Amino acid sequence: AQRVTQPEKLLSVFKGAPVELKCNYSYSGSPELFWYVQYSRQRLQLLLRHISRESIKGFTADLNKGETSFHLKKPFAQEEDSAMYYCALIGGGSYIPTFGRGTSLIVHP
Amino acid sequence: ETGVTQSPTHLIKTRGQQVTLRCSSQSGHNTVSWYQQALGQGPQFIFQYYREEENGRGNFPPRFSGLQFPNYSSELNVNALELDDSALYLCASSLAGGPGETQYFGPGTRLLVL
């Protein structure tokens, strides 16, 4: 069975502070991992995926297979980063994604 | 390019009733996935349709059924509604049915079962 755990329901930081949103997963094979974001009054949208190894809006995420983690990081948070963030996993060969329960990020001015 | 649309936006039903939710996929997309998002939870995969065929199903009972039409729009039907079916139902479309395809989400339909 595949599982995604986002241990923090809420993360509150000040503008300019570093941000790390935690995501741990449980899956025996090689997963594909994603971060989705939902800004206030907007739709859920893909932020980044681990296979792309890209930085989007200053966010990066590295897949750590040893720790089974895919934490989302940004060195300097901005107020516009305030949103709901969801980590998601797709097991190899499956079409069924598993989402975490989400972390609400609030960036104070 | 038209994004994913869903109708209705809100719906109130009573226990035991049946409901149909609709989704129009983004232009050029042939795959539609449906999700249930309960309050305070992440989206939970219900099923996916690729070129009018079911292409994967999550852990939902058979009273959750779907359909995809030749224009790739889709319906989610839920029979014998239960109180726990109250949730936001999200539809997402993608270019193809592969697991790595980027999904584009609609705004959702909020269902309340009384």
| Contacting residues of B for A90, CB less than 8 Å apart | 99-100
Which has more pLDDT, B2 or B55?
B55
**A94 and B56: CB-CB below 8 Å?**
yes
Over residues A48-61, mean pLDDT: 87
Over residues A63-78, mean pLDDT: 94
Smallest CA–CA distance, residue B101 to chain A, in Å, is: 10
Confidence (pLDDT) at B1: 56
Cβ-proximal residues to A76 (8 Å cutoff; 6+ apart), any chain: A16, A17, A18, A58
Which has more pLDDT, B35 or A28?
B35
Confidence (pLDDT) at A31: 87
Confidence (pLDDT) at A44: 95
If we measure between CA atoms, which residue out of B27, B43, B111 comes closest to residue B77?
Answer: B111
The answer to whether the CB of B23 falls within 8 A of the CB of B76 is: yes
Cβ-proximal residues to A66 (8 Å cutoff; 6+ apart), any chain: none
Cβ-proximal residues to A104 (8 Å cutoff; 6+ apart), any chain: A9, A10, A11, A83, A84, A85
> What is Dmax (Cα atoms) for chain A?
43
Q: CA A1, CA A5: separation in Å to the nearest integer? A: 13
pLDDT classification of A100: cutoffs 50, 70, 90: very high
Handedness of CA A33, A37, A43, A45 (dihedral sign): negative
Over residues A47-56, mean pLDDT: 85
pLDDT at B97 > cutoff 70? no
> Is cis: bond before B8, omega within 30 of 0?
yes
Handedness of CA B60, B62, B66, B67 (dihedral sign): positive
Q: CA A87, CA A72: separation in Å to the nearest integer? A: 9
**B100 and A90: CB-CB below 8 Å?**
yes
pLDDT at B99 > cutoff 70? no
Smallest CA–CA distance, residue A100 to chain B, in Å, is: 5
pLDDT at B96 > cutoff 90? no
Cβ-proximal residues to A42 (8 Å cutoff; 6+ apart), any chain: none
User: Mind giving me the DSSP string for B55-83?
Assistant: EEE-S--TTEEEEE-TTS-EEEEE-S--G
Over residues A88-96, mean pLDDT: 81
> From the candidates A4, A27, A43, which should be mutated to test the interface with B, based on the most B CB atoms within 10 A?
A43
Q: Which amino acid is at B72?
A: Y
Picking from A32, A94, A99, the nearest residue to B43 by CB comes out as: A99
Which has more pLDDT, A94 or B47?
B47
User: Mind giving me the DSSP string for A66-94?
Assistant: TTTB--EEESS--GGG-EEEEEEEE-TT-
pLDDT one-digit tens code per residue, B45-73: 999 999 999 988 999 999 999 999 999 99
